[in-house]
Structure 1
Amino acid sequence: MSENEPQQWKKFYLKDVSFMNLMTHRIFNVLIVANPYDAFMLEDDGRVDEKIFNEYTELGLRYPPTFTQVSTTEEAAEVLASTSIDLVICMPGNADNDAFTVARSVKAKFPDIPCVVLTPFSHGITRRMVNEDLSIFEYVFCWLGNTNLILSIIKLIEDKMNLEHDIAEAGVQMILLVEDSIRFYSSLLPTLYSFILAQSQSFATEALNPHSAALRMRGRPKVVLARNYDEAMELYTKYRDNTLGIISDCRFPKGEEKDPEAGLKLLREIRKDNEYIPLILQSSESENRKKAEAERFLFIDKNSKKMNLDLRRLMEEHMGFGDFIFRDPKTHEEVMRVRTLKELQDNIFKIPYDSMLYHISRNHMSRWLCARAIFPVSEFLKNVTWHKLQDVDLHRKIIFEAIVQYRHMKNIGVVAVFDRGKFDRYAHFARIGDGSLGGKGRGLAFLDNIIKSHPEFSEREGVKVSIPKTVVLCTDVFDRFMESNNLYQIALSDASDEEILHHFLKAQLPDKYISDFLTFFEATDRPIAIRSSSLLEDSHYQPFAGIYSTYMIPKLDDKYQMLQMLAAAIKSVYASVYYRDSKAYMTATSNVIDQEKMAVVLQEVVGKQYGDRYYPNISGVLRSINYYPVGNETSEQGIASLALGLGKYIVDGGQTLRVSPYHPDHVMQTSKVELALSQTQTQFYALDMKDVGDDFKVDDGFNILKLDVADADKDGALTYIASTFDPYNNMLRKGAYDEGWKVVSFCGVLQNGAFPLPELMQMAMKYGAEGMRRPVEIEFACNINNDRTGEFYLLQMRPIVDCKQMLDEDLTKIDDKRCLLRSHNSLGHGVSNEIMDIVYVKADENFTAANNPLIASEIEHINHKFVEENKNYILIGPGRWGSSDSWLGVPVKWAYISAACLIVEAGLANYRIDPSQGSHFFQNVTSLGVGYFTIDDYKDDGIYRKDLLDAMPAVYETESVRHVRFSRPLKIMMDGMKQEGIVLLPEDD
């Protein structure tokens, strides 16, 4: 075998199967026509309704049929005329009106309704049936009072109705039963269905949640009954590629005559066509055993008292039912047993060589997977036969890779119930608990579904698109934790954040989750982020973005030390619900704190380890609406903020690169060397892998390192994302070269095509906005390798909630003289005419950013009074509001300015900071309908009549901040699509 040959088997793609589309034709209403005695047997002795219902329930089947019973042909006609009947069962009649007469009468009036005849096999009826035309009935069965036969009849007819569609749709398998003896197939079918339905319950455990398990049972093998040679051959020829096995009688009609060897002839023909398919001959004539075994057919003696057990054993061993038992080919003894797909994956390299060769050379693996409705893998392996590939170890690898790909495919877009037996490095998204996933959890699950629904995300070779491996602790876990530790009293008190956190850290999480957490640790080799996911957070109408905490813990070899850190992080996230900022936000949004419920998202941290620190090459925030379009950009094309390192840097308002995914060649910040050196990222965030311990702080960034870009350069993390400043020629060179100052420009991925980031961002925005039916904000992170391969992870998606107020004026036509404020770069949309108060920073030529922290606390004090009075105001000041870097702007948290309805960044001649966008702070600004103006009237970019405010008396004043009040309301007007915003002066002021 050449070295290239394995590659041809590695390049395969499995097509997923939707079990939702199977078994679409059902029998819901059954009409039974029976004489009073048989009706009594069914109703009182047989209790057919109850038995069938119980049978369906026990087997996990849905939609049990309902039964209507009548005694005469006239009553049957009335029911059929007034009710939608799916199946008519005619039972033994009386002396002058037997079952055949009733059935023929029904068929004459309702030819399209399936009709089945049940008849006792008395001597007289047997003799009469020789001359009966039975072709007008679907089936004739021998009725001896066994209600289990009714279930088999319903399933047999449903299988017939769905066979062609389900095979074409998903590759469902067929078991062909060839038997002309009415008495025998009436006895055999209940046994056969009992076994198959029990098997379907067993393989349903491969599903990831109860709903998927119920749907998965629709993929069970279908049973098809043929009663002569021609019918059997026609069915096999049509569905040869989907035949799981054949069970055939020996003596039945072939052509016009009954042929005593018809079964042998049928199996010979099929064996010529398919050397692997299991062929079972059953006969009451003992001499047929030697004939069957001579041709290596399996044999069952119809006279045997344990015939049913023999059939079950052969189906288990040869049709893939039950566990897969690997056997020694010489002794036929069991050497290994696997029960599930995951067990097969875990043990495929441990199976002895001889046993592996024995089973793959007979296609047993494919058949076992078929019987378990794992069609994509089975279909693929069916084609990798021993004839095509005579290499046992390569077969092992191919089977392993196929299972991995299948499990990954089935995990995507599904919220699985966490199962320690199934969750491993190939698992994807699972939930612990029965409550809600919370806002972030729902957003992640929906993102996962979007990725699955749009395979174009994964069309580029070497590019993986997914969400990180995730486990969600649902809200019911939070409820139990709060109640069992009696935490509500301290949580709802006025205690400090530190005191609340102290009590939460002392509380106990239930021990039953320890094994689940350890399983999660085993499944990932990355640090873990512990994110809040509250009911209110990221909801469609009032996003609570960034209000609660997100902690990160490093990957540790000591799993129990890691467990302690994880428990502390979960409890710290729970505590953050009750911090002062959270309570202030609740008040501002008219929510009640004790109605908040918290889920927690445990998620792999995207990135790579560089020594003692861990971070991704790229983090980003995408918004599908661009409120600051530049040049050829349009609002509808969206905007991205990109940064090196952890995404917390963007959320905290750090310096990022602003780019439109549709215009990656036009980046304003790198358009001039001076801008690139002054307006691009100089620092980044990384997780400190050395910070180990469970002494967590209120500040969720306590173990986050703030590093210089030069540190990332030493780590070798700037390939494809940096340009190099050449001081001799005063120019930027695209690429990270050894000599020179590195500028985080993302040139390799934006302009040089090293990684398809612009296209992936475009798809994420497009499909995300389509899915939510509104503008969205998406967080993502990337790992990019030196060979231009990489991973694009979608971390979070939330709606940008639009203001519903209508704006029908052209703001550009309003006279400047009427304006107190005018911005040509505004964020927000709508009209307000209720505000009379303005709070502004007394910035002048002597302004220094060193005072910004003090200004933040003064504004917090003023804001508190507005919250108490339930009033709002306009806030004006220099630089970026909410920046974590106080040199870039006033470092307010949202709670400090929660009563502001319009926030203005006003530039100064000696203090010019580019506007910020894309952080949690701005998500809250937009979702609450708060406007955001950027004005720089020193550059004649907008209007800010500060002189009018300075001339007004102050309601309150400090050294840095003034609060003034107009006698009549100001009118705020914002056009979000044109980025125009104005504040009109009251007409009498």
Structure 2
Amino acid sequence: MVPQEYQKFYLKDVTFVNLMMRRIYNVLIVANPYDAFMLEDDGRVEEKIYNEYVELGLRYPPTFTQVSTTEEARQVLRTMHIDLVICMPGNADNDAFSVARDIKAEFPHMHCIVLTPFSHGITKRMENEDLSIFDYVFCWLGNTNLILSIIKLIEDKMNLEHDIDEGGVQMILLVEDSIRFYSSILPNLYNYILAQSKRFSTEALNRHAASLRMRGRPKVVLARNYEEAMALYERYSDNVLGVISDVRFPIHGEKDSEAGLKLMREIRKTDPYLPLILESSESENRAKAEAEGFRFVDKNSKKMSLDLHKMLEEHLGFGDFIFRDPKTKAEIMRIHSLKELQDNIFKIPDDSMLYHISRNHMSRWLSARAIFPVSMFLKTVTWERLKDITAHREIIFDAIVQYRHMKNIGVVAVFDRMKFDAYSHFARIGEGSLGGKGRGLAFLDNIIKTHPEFNSLEGATVQIPRTVVLCTDVFDQFMVQNNLYQIALSDASDDDILRHFLRAQLPDSLIADFFTFFEAVKSPIAIRSSSLLEDAHYQPFAGIYSTYMIPYLDDKYAMLEMLACAIKGVYASVYYRDSKAYMTATSNVIDQEKMAVILQEVVGKQFDGRYYPNISGVLRSLNYYPIGDERAEDGIASLALGLGKYIVDGGQTLRVSPYHPHQVLQTSELETALRETQTRFYALDTRHVSNDFKVDDGFNILNLKVKEAERDNSLNFIASTYDPYDQVIRDGLYEGGRKVISFAGVLQQGVFPLPELLQMSMRFGAEAMRRPVEIEFACNLNADRTGSLYLLQIRPIVDQKQMLDEDLAAIPDDRCLLRSHNSLGHGVTEDVTDVVYVKTDDRFSAANNPTIAREIEKLNKEYLDRGTNYVLVGPGRWGSSDSWLGIPVKWPHISAARVIVEVALKNYRVDPSQGTHFFQNLTSFGVGYFTIDENRNDGCFHKAQLDAMPAVEETEHVRVVRFEKGLRIMMDGKKGEGVIAAI
């Protein structure tokens, strides 16, 4: 029997049009041109936000104004009404914090956000910064969704009080003081909440009503200490949907290792059934949390965001309402909509009904779906007051019926099959991100377009290859539809993961698009990874994921099958063992990684069963190994015949500064030219047609002798001939005699203006990014001396700005453990104690290099687990794919090294490597790189000092020693000097 007080009631409708009234209309972004381009052309923040505003039935989405300097920012702020300033990582002459302080000093009431890259140096600096004058500081890794989240967070804060009082809107309280962590969780949280709000908007009867209803989504409020969290909870306790809290954060200004537990206990006293979720990277907190009945999410989990989504769905009322058996927790019935709840309310078993209503679950589910009138009414009908299940059912039924009755009253091209042809350049399939390489390519295309000088030289054209990008949403769809996360996040072997991915299905809707692309390019296709984190402006993931190539076939269906395998192979490589190790090394969570895939014509020409370009290269606008009259800022290029993978794999290349093309060390002497120029090259095997794709993305790449290229007649203008009779090398091709890959025709004889084009590429690229750059390129030369330069990729060389105020040359040799006059890197480090070095006594043999690589990989894992670093010393070329030239490690195998040293032995001398993907990782993580050759008095290495010390760990080929007080590592990047000394 329903009590009298509940028999007649009126639900007050919520006018959604009155919610979210205060908005951010004008945003000023202070950013360098690369970030600005990335936001406009790749992330399309303006378009994303515009679409969302249209969805929400709002007329005036924010406009974005972009400037590069503080002065320009001041000018805009004085002349325009700006609601929010976002200061992004700086240009060469300032940084985000300085810009933000200047703006706040003149406009103290302005909402101001600072975005900063995440690095050891920045973290240290922020410990001493007063951040209280800014609304928030966020960590920027190139994810444009963060900009959306920032605007949402500030709008939520602006509208919180009004919307809770006006409509009963709910809030999720997030308590977290780690900038790194809340920067990654907030986009995730908003993404989830907005997706859910789209789902629940279907409760409305028409599109307009559905749009308005989305304004009632739960708000997210961020608190960064105990006092702030408690004040927010006490003020809005009736409208808190749930609390997600870290365990360790400040109480009264001091970090407290149990702050989260204390907060939860306090809240639990007021509301025994409010969902409380603790998250922590300290796994011992799980037991503490669960002992007190709190939910727990492990920050270290590879699927942390999936775990959090599951908890939000289950405990905060998102997703379907699941009636459960109170004893077994087994699912009894699943409810998708309000109408379904109405239809089934009398069919639920009594004990399940009692379990849910006594814990306020139904009211919470309705709140999360913005059905506030019913939710607020049911919140007053508590089990304690009624204690009658049948009456409860009737009240819920009547409330739903009344509510429903009340509601009844009353410049990147999008790929287009019709338009994409041989003249098209760059298009996207999907609505997600282009990923790192995709952004770089779009940016390169833009640089070429804005600098007509590139195409002003006779006989030369400059362009990017024809490209289509499968955006990250295609990856998401593929992973979910094929249910691949379980195998992907497991500890399965790389081969096993690849096998599962190859069995999965890509959407059929892509087939017609792919056929159009084949028809347009009529050449082999490179299928390249372009992940969100890869080549991110401040944290490159260079060379970590796979790149496959497939031949061009007349049989389009056979080509389609190979293309599908290649795309799935690239997707699988996100989850290979090395990728996961790299994620750990860079403090990234693997399920934040999203993969776009670039489909791109391969630059080159078809020869007998193989395909390759005359020239491939990597160009860097900073040269850390200048020789003769070269300067560091003159840049350096590594040139090779054939596919660029040869350079990436550490093959023998020709090193030349584009501003000094006549000065090539490797060809300056006969003996050096014969010993140190390219003898092999890579080409795509165009006869290899099958779907037998391997984890090794080079399975169909031929490793050929230069003699084979001579047979193809592809050495015109790039080779010289050695005359054994006269003991001389002559520029050009002559009968007999070994061919030396000297690039003499393009470097010294002006056959093709490659040096001038590379100078332009460096200059315009570095200007556009406002920092030094690395550019990959390939070149086709024709017999008539014309040719085409294709720019394939651009990424910044991250500049370390640590202060170095010591003259390293003044430090005597006897005070150094190591000294290099050829060092890469810049700054001072004093927190390393260990040296890991290869034993190079008389028994050393390059034949053992693969074994040494495995021993070092094992040691490196121990350092990663401990979170410590070391100095790594060994002979030859680190990271070479040719184990006779050096120890064949990959970046993840040495990722905990702070300095890497290549030492020349008397009987084992290999010139230092330069220009490989390996170096991008070294520079972006601020890792030092020294080369020492005591035979030429080029630096010193006091190995005897290490040999005399006890080993803390020792393998057959490697020793580890520890310095009690640590080591002082000093690097002067401008002068190329490096010193390591015991403290």
TM-score range, shorter chain: 0.5 to 0.7
Q: Distance in 2 between matches of 1:744 and 1:881?
A: 24
Q: Give the corresponding residue for 1:492.
A: 489
Q: Give the corresponding residue for 2:527.
A: 530
Helix, strand or coil for the counterpart of 2:817?
Answer: strand
Deviation at 1:462, TM superposition (A): 2.1
Q: 2:836 aligns with which of 836, 839, 845?
A: 839
Matches within 5 A, 1:317-716: 414-716=411-713
Matching residue's letter, 1:722: A
Q: Distance in 1 between matches of 2:745 and 2:842?
A: 41
Q: Distance in 2 between matches of 1:561 and 1:499?
A: 24
Q: Give the corresponding residue for 2:823.
A: 826
Q: Distance in 2 between matches of 1:786 and 1:632?
A: 34
Deviation at 1:844, TM superposition (A): 2.4
Q: 2:775 aligns with which of 775, 778, 797?
A: 778
Asked if residue 864 in structure 1 is aligned to residue 861 in structure 2, the reply is yes
Helix, strand or coil for the counterpart of 1:571?
Answer: helix
Deviation at 1:644, TM superposition (A): 0.3
Q: Distance in 2 between matches of 1:759 and 1:435?
A: 37
Q: Give the corresponding residue for 2:749.
A: 752
Q: Distance in 2 between matches of 1:807 and 1:543?
A: 25
Q: Distance in 2 between matches of 1:808 and 1:577?
A: 41
Matching residue's letter, 1:856: A
Q: Distance in 2 between matches of 1:736 and 1:809?
A: 52
Deviation at 1:63, TM superposition (A): 10
Q: Distance in 1 between matches of 2:510 and 2:433?
A: 18
Q: 1:811 aligns with which of 808, 819, 827?
A: 808
Matches within 5 A, 1:294-305: none
Deviation at 1:506, TM superposition (A): 0.6
- CA deviation string 1:693-746 (max 9, x = no partner): 112100000000000000001100100000100111111100111221100000
Deviation at 1:837, TM superposition (A): 0.5
Q: Give the corresponding residue for 1:887.
A: 884
Q: Distance in 2 between matches of 1:461 and 1:479?
A: 46
Matching residue's letter, 2:954: E
Helix, strand or coil for the counterpart of 2:952?
Answer: strand
Matching residue's letter, 1:498: D
Matching residue's letter, 1:489: Q
Matches within 5 A, 1:954-969: 954-969=951-966
Q: Distance in 1 between matches of 2:891 and 2:967?
A: 24
- CA deviation string 1:92-144 (max 9, x = no partner): xxxxxxxxxxxxxxxxxxxxxxxxxxxxxxxxxxxxxxxxxxxxxxxxxxxxx
Q: Distance in 1 between matches of 2:465 and 2:677?
A: 28
Q: Give the corresponding residue for 2:917.
A: 920
Matching residue's letter, 1:565: M
Q: Distance in 1 between matches of 2:700 and 2:504?
A: 22
Contact 1:541 1:801 in 2 (8 A): yes
Q: Distance in 2 between matches of 1:806 and 1:607?
A: 45
Deviation at 1:938, TM superposition (A): 2.3
Matching residue's letter, 1:533: S
Matching residue's letter, 1:926: T
Matching residue's letter, 1:504: F
C-alpha distance 962-729 of structure 1, shift in aligned 2 (>3 A): same
Matching residue's letter, 1:967: E
- CA deviation string 1:49-105 (max 9, x = no partner): xxxxxxxx9xxxx999xxxxxxxxxxxxxxxxxxx9xxxxxxxxxxxxxxxxxxxxx
Q: Give the corresponding residue for 1:310.
A: none
Q: Distance in 1 between matches of 2:647 and 2:622?
A: 18
Deviation at 1:777, TM superposition (A): 0.4
Helix, strand or coil for the counterpart of 1:968?
Answer: strand
Deviation at 1:815, TM superposition (A): 1.7
Q: Distance in 2 between matches of 1:860 and 1:895?
A: 8
Q: Distance in 2 between matches of 1:923 and 1:684?
A: 23
Q: Distance in 2 between matches of 1:693 and 1:808?
A: 59
Q: Distance in 1 between matches of 2:623 and 2:694?
A: 36
Q: 2:761 aligns with which of 749, 753, 764?
A: 764
Instruction: Give ranges in structure 1 of 5+ residues lacking alignment.
Output: 1-56, 65-83, 85-413
Asked if residue 906 in structure 1 is aligned to residue 903 in structure 2, the reply is yes
Matching residue's letter, 2:934: D
Q: Distance in 2 between matches of 1:725 and 1:980?
A: 37
- CA deviation string 1:924-949 (max 9, x = no partner): 11111100000011221101010000
What TM-score do the two structures reach when normalised by structure 1? 0.58
- CA deviation string 1:410-433 (max 9, x = no partner): xxxx52100000001111110000
C-alpha distance 582-632 of structure 1, shift in aligned 2 (>3 A): same
| Fraction of identical pairs, as percent | 73
Q: 2:799 aligns with which of 781, 797, 802?
A: 802
Helix, strand or coil for the counterpart of 1:954?
Answer: coil
- CA deviation string 1:208-236 (max 9, x = no partner): xxxxxxxxxxxxxxxxxxxxxxxxxxxxx
Q: 1:741 aligns with which of 722, 727, 738?
A: 738
Matching residue's letter, 2:413: A
Q: Distance in 2 between matches of 1:678 and 1:839?
A: 31
Q: Distance in 2 between matches of 1:804 and 1:544?
A: 21
Matching residue's letter, 1:714: R
Q: Distance in 2 between matches of 1:601 and 1:622?
A: 21
Q: Distance in 2 between matches of 1:800 and 1:942?
A: 26
What TM-score do the two structures reach when normalised by structure 2? 0.58
Q: Distance in 1 between matches of 2:416 and 2:553?
A: 23
Task: State the structure with more CA Rg.
Answer: 1
Helix, strand or coil for the counterpart of 1:546?
Answer: coil
Q: Distance in 2 between matches of 1:63 and 1:962?
A: 65
Matching residue's letter, 2:422: R
Q: Bigger shift: 448-457 or 805-814?
A: 805-814
Deviation at 1:960, TM superposition (A): 1.1
Contact 2:963 2:982 in 1 (8 A): no
Q: Distance in 2 between matches of 1:647 and 1:769?
A: 22
Higher relative contact order (CA 8 A, sep 6+): 2
Matching residue's letter, 2:453: E
Q: 2:927 aligns with which of 923, 927, 930?
A: 930
Helix, strand or coil for the counterpart of 1:748?
Answer: helix
Q: Distance in 2 between matches of 1:519 and 1:63?
A: 38
Q: Distance in 1 between matches of 2:889 and 2:836?
A: 14
Deviation at 1:833, TM superposition (A): 0.3
Contact 1:845 1:910 in 2 (8 A): no
Structure 1 vs Structure 2 CA RMSD: 1.4
Aligned residues: 578
Matching residue's letter, 1:844: D
Q: Distance in 2 between matches of 1:463 and 1:744?
A: 22
